[in-house]
Amino acid sequence: MKKLFVLILLSFSLNFAIAQEGQLDFTEKQSDWGFHLTPYALLASQSTDVGGQKIRQSFSDLASITNAGFQIVAGIRYKRLSLNFDGTFARLGEEFPDPPLLVDLKVKQQILDLRLRYILFESYESGQNGVIKGWSVAANAGPKIWRNNLELDYSLVFGDRVLDEGTLSEDQKWTDLMLGLRSQFIISSKFLVTVDGSIGGFGWGNSSDFSSDLTYLNSFKIAKHILINAGFRSFRYSRTDPSDTGDLSTKVKVQGPILGVSFVY
């Protein structure tokens, strides 16, 4: 039964991305305090290996089973220190109305990523009108909380008769401690490049055995308080969960382009 739930859950999983934490003008001196809000999307494909089964899903496959979803990043900064929240909230599902077995799958998913970030090093070249170009390196750490609630309503029918019906449910929750580094490069006053990588899990408690992600992002300033973000992200994790027949090993890899809009103050 545990294997069935994991297979269904991963087949109906929604993916998320890290969006950009920008600034008003990449060559302007920043004030001590800052705030940003970024709705975003990851147009991803997913590959899953679980219990000897291989599941491959394109972006179209994932989008077709998403009933509703919302993804957003918010953050507040004071000088070199910042606190960032990355949240995914989704309702997924699909119906299989072919008799004799009628199935209605529903998944509620929350992915909450909280990071504390500190700029370790920074170097900038200044000109008459401010910073010409430069770079910075920041370290970050924090918990990533995964929660998936799955409900499977089924009916076994023969003609107009219902022979059996019921609901199966599964609630999964785990937390991964993530540690990472982020590098940013100011190319011009309107163009910023970000490379962000982190690892976590480490098999502590109920966490993943190991998880990692890598993000490359281009940010373009189009207005005083608005940035357009475009890039690519790849992340993966592996877990081991107990099941009726022994430990169940799961490996997931997600990759695809990122699109987002940042509102920065």
pLDDT given at position 255:
87
Closest CA to 124 of 31, 189, 176, 216: 189
User: Rounded mean pLDDT of 5-13?
Assistant: 45
Q: What is the C-alpha separation between 212 and 201, in angstroms, rounded?
A: 9
CA distance 11 to 66: 12
DSSP string covering 12-51: T-----PPP---S-TTSPPPSEEEEEEEEEE--EEEEEET
Cα–Cα distances (Å) from 69 to 45, 76, 250, in that order, read 17, 24, 24
pLDDT in tens, 72-126: 889 999 999 999 998 888 887 777 777 788 878 788 888 899 999 999 999 877 6
**Residue 19's pLDDT is what?**
43
Q: What is the pLDDT of residue 216?
A: 94
Instruction: Give dist(CA 129, CA 149) in Å, integer.
Output: 53
Give the contacts of 98 (CB within 8 A, at least 6 positions apart).
none
20 closest CA partner among 181, 218, 222, 199:
218
- Residue with the bigger pLDDT between 260 and 8: it is 260
pLDDT in tens, 49-69: 877 778 787 777 776 666 667
- Tracing tokens 């929350």 back to the chain, one arrives at 110
In this model, does residue 205 exceed pLDDT 80?
yes
Q: Which domains does the chain have, with CATH numbers?
A: 2-88+119-143+177-264 (2.40.128)
In this structure, the number of other CB atoms found within 10 A of the CB of residue 77 comes to: 21
Which of 21 and 167 is assigned the larger pLDDT? 167
Chain position carrying tokens 């220190």? 81
Least confident span in 35-49, 179-193, 219-233: 35-49
Each residue's pLDDT tens digit, 179-189: 999 999 988 88
* Residues contacting residue 133 through CB under 8 Å, at least 6 positions apart: 124, 125, 185, 186, 187, 188
- Where does the pLDDT of residue 14 fall: very low under 50, low under 70, confident under 90, or very high at 90 and above? very low
| pLDDT value for 250 | 85
Using one digit for the tens of pLDDT, what is the confidence trace for 125-150? 766 555 567 899 999 999 999 888 88
Distance CA 30, CA 77 (A): 10
Q: Do 231 and 191 contact (CB within 8 A), yes or no?
A: no
pLDDT at 165 over 70: yes
